[in-house]
Structure 1
Amino acid sequence: MPRKAHKRQKSQPHGPQQPQHHVVQQLQPHQQQQQNNHTSDGPPVDNQHPADVHIPTESIDEMNLRVLQCYEPTIRSIEAVAASSVVYAINGEAGGWIKADPQIEGTLFLCEQEPLQIEEFVLPRACVFVLNRKGLMNVVVDLARVCKAEVLGDLITLGIENEETASKGPDGTNGASGQQVLGLWIHGNGTTGSGSGMSGPLFDPDMVVRRWQAVQVAMVNTLGSSQLLDTMGFLDTAATMAKVKLTGLGLNPDGIATTAVGPQPNVKELMAMVLGQTSGRGLGQEGS
């Protein structure tokens, strides 16, 4: 009698495992080659449409913007980013730089803010924001209140006018008696520009100077002067009105993060704190 033919068992299909819902899985080149060379008697596995995987679409710049707005709601865009900066103040008596203690070090953002407006007067606004990774005290410098901006290598210097002691010189410009100097030292290899998050082009410190110059020109065109003694009344009143407007929209004018951690010192208070220190590291003397 002829032997009864055995029914051939159909092999089970093989294919890559479907990724979990919260993980975006990407095969390495050697894994892809291994998958392509595999043959099976079973039906082909359709792996072109994996399970519904959530892929974040928000860029790093957008996430950074949301964080900054939690401290300063008037910020509406990030123009440039430096991955690491340290805050200093110049000691006018000793002529040296003093590092803030507690140390203020972190990512520096050059930001565009909502313009200030009183009646027909509209003034563009920008600021430098240092998001402190060493503590809860950040630094926000309104470029409209900066009387001088320069770049010395990797150091950005911002002359801060002290309205309580400022005086006008014989040529009509503000005298030096009321000026204090804030230093922002950009260091490390992780300096970046905006647009591609933390992998963008190298940060150019001169961008801060150019943005400050644009604010100065706007103040002259709008208010007839860029001198703080002439403009601080408008700046203070317009800033107060902007907060009232935010409150009317149901928003926190100080920022939800600022409300949570407590008031942040303004630049004048920061300078007084740093210059009032009994000790502090000099420029470039890093340490925890």
Structure 2
Amino acid sequence: MTKEIRLAKQKRRNQKIAFGVFQFTSYTVVGLLFVILSFIVIKGISVISWEFISEMPKEGMTQGGIFPAIVGTLCLVFGSMIFAFPVGVLAAIYMNEYVKDGWMKKIIKQMTNNLAGVPSIVFGLFGMALFVNKLEFGDSLLAGSLTLGLLVLPVVIRTTEESLKSVDDTFRQASLGLGASKWQTTSKVVFPIAFPNIITGLILSIGRVSGETAPILFTVAAYFLPKLPTSIFDQAMALPYHLYVISTSGTNIEASRAMAYGTALILIIIVLISNLLANALRKYFGKKVKMN
């Protein structure tokens, strides 16, 4: 009995140690995030004003606002999601629901995983070679959006696959047993249940696309363009590249540094708002699934 009590105490002690380590790690991550955000807010809040958000840049981007960069970033995020989200979701549905387990499926999954690990600058070079030069889109929103869409495509595919796998097979079997076709089962039963979790891929993709510099450097970003794009074949400014340029320009360092912090704060706010909207969308569809 004494030995059993001692073992039970040891298990409880080990459990407390493990929970303590997990708790410390979680608080450390949250603390680091809070420190980073606080630093950006403190440094950038003094620059934020209506003029800074709504005006065109002036004097080599050391004065004026960042409105074209904000619009360009939103256009790139929207354009890349139009391409990556439908293509990625459909590819994942095909892979998970239609392709049988075998060597071909394993190869495709491995290639998708490898594609997710390719550096973003390689995607930028590929986008320049294919979209800018070969297809003759030029430095444009179209070329930049397609390049960014390719960049986040593996993320969308993987998160969609995991969401589809989380749907219990009993739903599929019940639907097929009632006479529904494979496509009806997938589109009317499996996909609606998995869709709230599929939105996670959208959230991750928006966060990554918003902050990428290397791909747009080769395909769309303009150094100084105090006007708004009027078509998908126009160049555009973007917040990540704007932030990079004014941080490394070396002219009027104090003004550039202040604007850099303000730009970083605006970029964080855009990503935060996008994530909140996507989360609200996920909760909305999640409630509809529970009600049905």
The interval holding the TM-score normalised by the smaller chain is: under 0.3
Determine which structure has greater relative contact order: mean sequence separation of CA pairs < 8 Å that are 6+ residues apart, divided by chain length: 2
Q: Tell which structure's C-alpha radius of gyration is larger.
A: 1
| Normalised TM-score (structure 2) | 0.23
Question: Which structure has greater strand proportion?
Answer: 1
